[in-house]
Each structure stands twice: as C-alpha cells, then as structure tokens.
Structure 1
Amino acid sequence: MLTTLKRYPRAVKLLLSAPLILTLARGITLPYLVIYLASRFSLSIADTGLVIGSTLIIGSLLSLYGGFLVDRMPSYRLILGCCAVFTLGFLGAFLAPDLWLFYLCLVLINLAYAVIDIAVKAGFASLLPVTERSEVFSIKYTLTNIGYAIGPFIGAAMAKLDISLPFLLSAGLGTGFFCLYFVWGDRDLSSADGALPSTPFLAVGKLLLQDYRLVCFTLGGLLSAVVFGQFAAYLSQYLVVTTTPETTYRIISAALATNALTVIGLQYAIGRRISHRHLSRWLAAGLSMFILGLAGFALSTTVVLWVISMVIFTIGEIIVFPAEYMFIDKIAPDHLRGMYYGAQNLASLGAALGPVLCGIVLASQPPHYIFYMLALFIVAGGLFYCLGASSLSDAKVQEAD
C-alpha cells in the first residue's frame, strides 16, 4: 500500500489524508457521546439514542444536497468550507451550554463529514483512470478504519482528564487538515462541468429517481447497511440479553479489535483485486460472508468463536464496501458523480435502523431471531443488487446492438 501511495500525485494523497484525519477526529469523540450526553445533559439511554441516531439521519439526508454542490462547485473551496464547518461543529460542541445547540453541532459535524467524503470520491474519479479506482477506494477505506481504530483510545485518554477535551482535540485535527489543504490542495480540482447548463436540485433529484440502477443499488445498500452499519450496537444488545455485562464487554471488545485488525490487515490486499469486470460475483461473495458471519454469531458460545465469526463477517465488509463504490462509479455520469455518491450515502439510514429493529425483536421474540431477521435483510439487499446489475448488463447489450 505504501508503494502505491508513493506513486500517486500529491492531489490524490491529500484527498486520502481527509478520511484518515477527519475520521480520527470523529473516532476520538463520537464513541463517548453516550457518556457525555448522560453526564452533561442528564439524558436517559432512550433520549441519548434518539439524539445520536437522528443527527446521523439528518446529516445523511442533507448530504444529498452536498452531492449536488460537489457537481456545481470547485472541490477545493467546497472541501475547505466543509472542513471549516466540521471544525466549528466540534468547537461548538465543546462550548455548547444547551442541548439544542449541541444537537445542531452534531448535525453540522455529520453533514460536513459526509460532503467531504463525497467530494473525495468524486475527486478520485477526476484524477485517476477507471482501472485504478478500486485500489484507491480500498486504501481510503483502510485509512478510515485506522482512524476509527486509533481514535477511541486517544479519546479515552483525553476524557480521563476532562470529558469535554476530546471535542477540543477533534476541532484541532479539523483545523490541521484545513491548513494542510489550504496550502497544498489542488485549486483546479473540480467535478463540475461548466459547459453544461445549470439544473435545479429538485430536477436533478427526479433524474436520479429515473435511474433504475441507482435506485436498486441504493436500496440494496440501505438494506445491507442494517446488518453491517452498526453491528457493534446490535451485538451488544443481543449479548446484554443473553449473557452478563462482564461477558458482553469482553466479547464486544474482542470483536471490535478483531474487526479493526482484519480490515487494516486485509482491506488493501482484497480490495485492490476488485474490478469492474466481476462486480456482481464480488458482491455475492461479500454478502455470503455476511450470512456466514451471522450464523457464526448465532452459534458462538466462547470468545474464540466470536472472534472467528467476526473475521468472516469482516471479510464480507471488506468486499462489499469497495464493490458498492465501484458500482456507483461505473453508472455515474461525470457531471452527476456528486449526486450519485450522495445517493449512495443514504445507505447509512439503514445503519441507523439496525439497532432499532433488533431492539424490537429482542423485546418480543427469542434473542437468536435477530440473526434470522438480519439474514433476511442481506438476502433482500442482494436481490436489489442483482436487479441493478442485470439492468446494467442489459444496457451494455443494447449499446452493443
């Protein structure tokens, strides 16, 4: 991976630094939001979940307009502007005396992060040929997971000094990236095509809804994200019901560490091999690994079995993430890449639904039923992927005729 990074132009390296630095900033703070909201604003567990979940949902929905801006504005200005909002969001969260202001800051943080992520992916499409994009997506995902793996440890150390300090450190990282990109960022980088007529946001949205392939891939991603988007949350819910708190903490800690190490160790090796030619097969393989991992979770009785199941589950994650990006990259018109990537971000709505649906099942059915439900979501997501892929194949045949 380091050899590949060395041969990339500076513009690509700077874009790759965004997921590492900004994800690290989020990883330092967001895992401790439950504790912070309970201690600072005296929220119950239910209210805390509502605050965190709703800010993620609002940020995801608004990011669709962010994708529209990616297609209309120079990437340099948009990334700097969103980075400033990201930084001010953390600074505001550090200073916020009231819950409503803290809530607004969380929305801004999630929105700015999502728009920068869209701009980065669109930038890759502008700077690199098609054959090199799967590799750069894999590197991006690896760096993102490094940020998520390291961030919580730094946040825990800072929180011991003062529970508000992680927000200040996250703001500092945002400032650091802003300065880095301000000085060395590519000022000419843009996904916008000035030769094309300007189209209103709602008109573009209707155009996207008419793309059957995009609708299928978005629905497939949303349904699949119910399973892999917030797996730590629903596994914790399951373990709390079926074991002791001590066992839950031990298993979840081992599972999260396994997930992070597996992604960091294997993502680049596997992801760089994913190509446009066999995307359907790769997605089928990844979704199959999810189902095998879920079966393993349902049958696991020891920490070792949980770790093995998590390795299998994570390999599915390693395959599906870059394969999804490659599908969208394949169907997105050059002048609408931002909107297409923004539509793909709507899959995070599924991640927010996962813990909610699992909580309902755990409250009304035997605990292991959640794995049946999650497997059904994988199958349903796979069906939508197949529908999208088949329509893509039909389009190719028509072009050939």
Structure 2
Amino acid sequence: MLATIRTYPRTVNLLLSATLMLTMAKAITFPYLVIYLSSRFGLDITQVGLVIGSSLIVGSLLSVYGGFLVDRINSYRLLLGLSMVFVVGFIGTVLAGNIWAFYGCLILINLAHAVIDIAVKAGFASLLPEDARSEVFSIKYTLTNIGYAVGPAAGAIVAKLDISLPFMLSALLGMGFFLLYWRWGDRTLTTIDATQKPVSFIAVGRVLLRDYRLVCFTLGGVLSAVVFGQFTAWLSQYLVTTTTAQYTYTVISAVLTTNAVGVIALQYVIGRRISHRYLSQWLVAGLGMFMLGLIGFALSTSVLWWVLAMAVFTVGEIIVFPAEYMFIDRIAPDHLRGMYYGAQNLSNLGAALGPVLCGMVLASLPAHTMFYMLGAFIVGGGVFYFIGASLKANHPA
C-alpha cells in the first residue's frame, strides 16, 4: 500500500491525509460523547442517543447540498473552508454553554466531515484514471479504519486529564490538516466542468431522482447500512439484553479488535481487486458474507465464535464499501459527481436507524428476532443493488 501511495500525485496524498486526520479527529471524541453529554448537560441515555443520532441524520441530509457545492466551488477553497468549520465545531463543543449550542456544533462537525469526504472522492475522480480508483478507494477506507482504531486510544489518554481535552485535540488535528492543505494543496484543483451552464440545486435534484440507478443504489445503501452502519451498537444492545454487562464488554472488545485488524490487514488486498466489470458479483459476495456473519452471531455461544462470526462479517464490509464507491463513480456524470456522492451519504440514515429499530425489536419480541430483521434488511438492500446494477443509464448527460 505504501508503495502505491508513493506513486500518487501530491494532491491525492493530501486528500488521503484528510481522510486519516479528520477521521481520527472524530474518533478521538465521539466515544466520549455519551459521558460528556450526561455529565455536563445531565442528559439521560435516551436523550443522549437522540442528540447523537439526530445530529448525524441532519448532517447527512445537509451534505447532499454540500455535494452540490462540491460541483460548483473550487476544491481548494472549499476544503480549506470546510476544515475550518470542522475546527470551529470542535472548539464550540468545549465553549457551548447549553445543549442547543453543543448540538449545533455536532451538526457542523458531521456536516463538514461528510462534505470533505465527498470532495475527496470527487477529487480522486478528477486526478486518477478510472482503472486506478478502486485501489485508492480501498486505501482511503483502510486509512479511515486506522483513524477509528487509533483515535479512541489517543482520546482515552487525554480524557484522563480532562474530559474536554479530546475535543481540543480533535480541533488541533483539524487545524493541522488546514495548514497542510493551505501550504501544499493544489489551488487549481476543481471538479467543476466549465462547459456546463450553472443549474439550480432543485434542478439538479430532479436529475438525480430521474436516475433510477442512483435511486435504487441509494435505497440499497440505506437498507444495508441498517446492518453494518453501527453494528457495535446493536451487538451491544443484543448482548446486554441476553447476557451480563461483563460478558458484553468482553465480546464487544474482542469483535472491535477483530474488525479493526481485519479491515486494516485485508482491505487493500481485497479492495484493489474490485473492478467495474464484476461489481454485481462482488456485491453479492459482500452481502453474502454479511448474512453468514449474522447467522454466526445468532448461533454464537462463546467469545471465539463471536470473533469468527465478526471475521466473516468484516470481509463483507471490506467488499461492500469500495464496491458502493465504484458503482457511484461509474454512473456519476463528471459535472455532478459531488451530488452523486452526496446522495450516497444518505446511507447514514440507515446507520442511524439500526440501533433504534433493534432496540424496538429487543424490547417487544424474542431477542433472536433481531437477526431475522437484520437479515431481511440485507436481502432488501441486495434487491435494490441488483435492480440498480441491471438498469441502463437514463440521466441527462
């Protein structure tokens, strides 16, 4: 992977650094949000879940307009502006005197991170040939997981000194990227097509809705993200309901380690082999691994079985993430890439719904019913993926 990174243009590597640094910045603080919100603002667990989940949903919805801006604004200025919003959001969480100010800052952080992610993917499409993109998407996802693996450990170290310090450390990382890109970023980088006449956001939205491949793939992404978007949340819910708190902690620690090691070790090896030519087959394989992983979870009776099931589930994650990126990359017109990637971000809605739906099932039905529901979401997502992949292009050029 490092050998491949060295062959990329400097701007590509700077965009990859955005993924690593800003993901790590989020990972440093977000594990401590529950503690911070309950201790500083006196929220109960339901209110904490509502604040965190709804801020993610609002940020994801607003990022669709952010994708529109990616197609309209010079990438250099946009990335610098968004990284500064990211920094201000984290500083604001420390200074916020009430929950509404804190909530607004969370939305700013989620929005800035989501739109930067869109700009990074659109930048890859501008800078690299089509046959090199699956590899860079795999590297990007590997760096994302490294950020999520390293971030919480760094946050734990500084949180022992003061619970506010992780937020300041995140702000410093955001500022680090700002300075890095301000100094060495390509000021001419743009995803704007100068030959295209300016079109309003509403008009572009109509174009996207008429591209049934995008609609089907977005729906497939929302449904499947219910399963893999926040799997640690519903696994914890299930284990707390069916076992003890101590056993839950043991299993969750083991599966998180398995997932992080698996993704970091295998993402680049597998992801670089995913090509446009066999996307449908790759997606079937990835969703099949999710299903096998769910069956493994449902039947697990020991920590070892939970780890083995997580290993299978992780392979599905490794396949599906870059395959989704590659499909959107294939169908997106050059002048609308930002909007297409923004629509793909709506899968975060499914990720936010997962813990809510699983909590409702666990509260009212036998616990194992949760796995039937999650399996149905995988099948539903697969159906929409298959329909989307089989449709012909129908969007205006």
Partner Cα distance (1:346, 1:117) in 2: 13
Aligned counterparts, 1:105-124, within 5 A: 105-124=105-124
TM-superposed deviation, 1:96? 1.0
Partner of 1:399: none
Give the match's secondary structure for 1:327. helix
1:351-374 CA-to-partner distances (Å, cap 9, x unmatched) read 000000000100111101100000
Q: Secondary structure at the match of 1:278?
A: helix
Q: Distance in 1 between matches of 2:368 and 2:242?
A: 9
How does 1:17-36 map onto structure 2 within 5 Å?
A: 17-36=17-36
User: Is the partner of 1:30 in helix, strand or coil?
Assistant: helix
Deviations 1:130-159 (A, max 9, x none): 000000000000000000001001111111
Secondary structure class of the residue paired with 2:276: coil
SS in 1 for 2:222: helix
| Structure 2 counterparts to residues 52-201 of structure 1, below 5 A | 52-201=52-201
Compute the displacement of 1:65 (Å).
0.3
Q: 1:293 is paired with a residue of what secondary structure?
A: helix
Structure 2 spans left out of the alignment, 5+ residues: none
Residue 196 of structure 1, CA deviation: 1.0
Letter in 1 for 2:114: A
C-alpha displacement of 1:98: 1.0
Q: Which moved more, 1:136-145 or 1:191-200?
A: 191-200
Question: 1:265: how far off?
Answer: 0.3
SS of 2:277's partner is: coil
1:342 aligns with 2:342: yes
The alignment partner of 1:109 has SS state of helix
Shift of 1:193: 1.2
Amino acid at match of 2:38: A
Tell me the residue number matched to 1:376: 376
Q: Percent identity?
A: 71
Look up the match of 2:221.
221
**Aligned residue number for residue 365 of structure 2:** 365
Task: State the Cα distance separating 1:29 from its structure 2 match.
Answer: 0.1
Query: Following TM superposition, by how much is the alpha carbon of 1:164 offset from its aligned partner in structure 2, in angstroms?
Result: 0.6
| Deviation (angstroms), 1:95 | 1.3
SS in 2 for 1:277: helix
Q: What is the distance in 1 between the residues matched to 2:323 and 2:305?
A: 28
Q: Which residue of 1 aligns with 2:16?
A: 16
Spell out, residue by residue over 1:5-62, the C-alpha distance to the aligned partner (whole angstroms, 9 max, x if none): 0100101000000110000000000111001100010000000000000000000000
Provide the C-alpha distance between the structure 1 equivalents of 2:131 and 2:384, rounded to a whole number of angstroms.
25
Q: What stretches of structure 1 of length at least 5 have no aligned partner?
A: 396-401
Q: How many residues align?
A: 394
In 1, Cα distance between equivalents of 2:235 and 2:242: 10
1:352 match: 352
Name the amino acid aligned to 2:181: Y
Q: State the alpha-carbon separation in 1 of the partners of residues 159 and 36 from structure 2.
A: 10
Q: Distance in 2 between matches of 1:348 and 1:325?
A: 14
Code of the aligned partner of 1:364 = S
Which residue identity does 2:195 align to in structure 1?
A
1:101 alignment partner AA: A
Q: How far apart, in 2, do the equivalents of 1:52 and 1:225 lie?
A: 17
Offset of residue 94 of structure 1: 1.2
Q: Which amino acid aligns with 1:251?
A: V
Match of 1:188, SS state, is coil
Determine the C-alpha separation between the residues in 2 that align with 1:335 and 1:358. Answer: 39
Distance 1:390 1:253 in 2: 40
Counterpart in the other structure of 1:275: 275
Provide the secondary structure at the position in 2 that maps to 1:161. Answer: coil
Q: Which residue of 2 aligns with 1:301?
A: 301
Structure 1 residue runs of 4 or more that deviate by more than 6 Å after TM superposition? none
Residue 315 (structure 1) shift: 0.3
Letter in 2 for 1:248: T
Superposed CA deviations along residues 195-225 of structure 1, whole A, max 9, x for unmatched, are: 2111000110011000000000000000000
State the distance in 2 between where 1:280 and 1:188 align.
Answer: 36
Partner SS state of residue 322, structure 1: helix
In the alignment, the residues of structure 2 paired with residue 38 and residue 159 of structure 1 have an alpha-carbon distance, to the nearest angstrom, of: 15
Distance in 2 of aligned mates of 1:165 and 1:98: 18
Q: Deviations over 1:252-311 (max 9, x none)?
A: 011111101100000000000000000000000000000000000000011110000000
| Letter of the structure 2 residue corresponding to residue 95 of structure 1 | L
Query: Which whole-Å CA distance do the structure 1 matches of 2:9 and 2:390 have between them?
Result: 36
Match for 1:344: what amino acid? Q
For residues 130 and 8 of structure 2, the distance between their equivalents in structure 1, rounded to whole angstroms, comes to 14
